[in-house]
Amino acid sequence: MTVFTKTIPDYQGTSQDSALIRDLTAENEQLRETLKNLLEQATHNHQVMRRHQAFDLQVVGASGFTELIGSIVQTLPLIAELDVVTLTLLDHGGDIHRVLQNLGVDFNCYPNLLFVENEAELGNLPLASHQASMGLFNAQQHRQLFPADLTTPASVAIVPLLRNKRLIGSLNLGSRDPARFTANLGTDFIEHMASIIAISLENVISNELLKYISLTDPLTGVHNRRFFDRRLLEEIGRARRQGYPLACMYIDIDFFKQINDTVGHQGGDDVLRELATRIKAELRLSDALARFGGEEFVVLLIDANSTSACMVAERIRLGIANQPFKLRTGRYCDVTVSIGVATLCDLGGTERNKPIETIAQNFLELADHALYEAKEYGRNRVVCTK
């Protein structure tokens, strides 16, 4: 922009000249004011651009799903001066939701994160055309994107999130200012932001799915040995620092080979799935259950001494032995398990200076040995070692 500065010569003139000078001075002041406003606007725009660039980097660099969602629903409203931001994810079959829940995401903490299983659930929004839509908030059209317990906006921008021309969700921006989003507003900037968010979302979701697959037993959906081994080391470290006991259970189905022979391999798989469900039902959320392979499951009980661990083991044993397993064929099958229990109660004492890996290995060996004894003593029983 060019700014003209008018210099008034130092000269004693007529009253006409004085009027001209007054006019020119007033015009000059007005120009200065305009310039000041433009500079302020430019500085503001520059700051907004810097904040958006920082936001882009934060979104692209998010290390996991929860960090990314936090950036979108908490940081974005601050940097873009919005009153509410929500995110809708298109989740066919509910797989993403299920996996994230299994990985420990507490969705109650994310009221701005919405899941829909198909495009129809997005309502009659023009998302199918893959175009952003902006305008006044309309409860009938937009309520499902801005639930009533969040701020109700006056104007909204609904921006499709696309990956390879496929709709994966929508970014929903809301302002209390009815003039903030109008139908004729340019969409380039918002669409750029949505494309960065879509790429980052796809990326973190793929990573979370991979993590889930690598730590989960595909048949039963409980954790696998890789997860358990990692968790055991963490928990021993924590228990040693905080001074509480841990207990470990080895659970093995009795005569499973015969069960397979009687009800077939599919029937055997049904038994394994149902067994995992029954064991889980007796545990606390903080406990860890893993299938170590075949028909062997291992449980880590947090803050459990020998007495309480043996009570839990006995409850599991009875819950299995007293109720026949219903298979998908409609057939019933009697199942019993043997359980070996070991506890770690002295982590602050003699175990204090041992490497955690050694403690973990000895701990598992003790539980495995107790299981061996339970089998030796006749099966369908619990053996606890101190």
Residues with active-site annotation:
295
**Closer to Mg ion by Cβ: residue 191 or 296:** 296
**Closer to ligand GH3 by Cβ: residue 115 or 255:** 255
Closest CB 373 distance from ligand GH3, rounded Å: 12
Closest CB 320 distance from ligand GH3, rounded Å: 13
From ligand GH3, Mg ion, none, which one binds at residue 268 (CB under 5 to 8 Å depending on kind)? ligand GH3
Beta strand 337-344 with 382-384 is parallel
From Mg ion, ligand GH3, none, which one binds at residue 250 (CB under 5 to 8 Å depending on kind)? none
Closest CB 278 distance from ligand GH3, rounded Å: 17
C-beta separation of 216 from 224 below 8 A:
yes
Rounded CA gap, 41 and 227, in Å? 54
**Closer to ligand GH3 by Cβ: residue 13 or 293:** 293
From ligand GH3, Mg ion, none, which one binds at residue 265 (CB under 5 to 8 Å depending on kind)? ligand GH3
**Closer to ligand GH3 by Cβ: residue 55 or 228:** 228
Closest CB 256 distance from ligand GH3, rounded Å: 3
| Cross-strand partners of 340 | 250, 383
From ligand GH3, Mg ion, none, which one binds at residue 326 (CB under 5 to 8 Å depending on kind)? none
CB neighbours of 237 closer than 8 A, spacing ≥ 6? 356
C-beta separation of 344 from 363 below 8 A:
yes
Amino acid letter, residue 168: I
**Closer to ligand GH3 by Cβ: residue 142 or 381:** 381
CB neighbours of 298 closer than 8 A, spacing ≥ 6? 225, 228, 248, 249, 250, 251, 289, 290, 292, 364, 367
CB neighbours of 310 closer than 8 A, spacing ≥ 6? 341, 382, 384
Kindly report the length of the chain. Answer: 386
Binding residues (CB under 5 A) for Mg ion: these are: 252-253, 256, 295-296
Closest residue to ligand GH3, judged by C-beta, is: 268
From ligand GH3, Mg ion, none, which one binds at residue 269 (CB under 5 to 8 Å depending on kind)? ligand GH3
Closest CB 54 distance from ligand GH3, rounded Å: 50
SS3 label, residue 216: strand
Sheet holding 296-302, edge to edge: 288-293, 296-302, 246-253, 337-344, 382-384
Binding residues (CB under 6 A) for ligand GH3: these are: 219, 252-257, 260, 265, 268-269, 272, 294-295, 375, 379
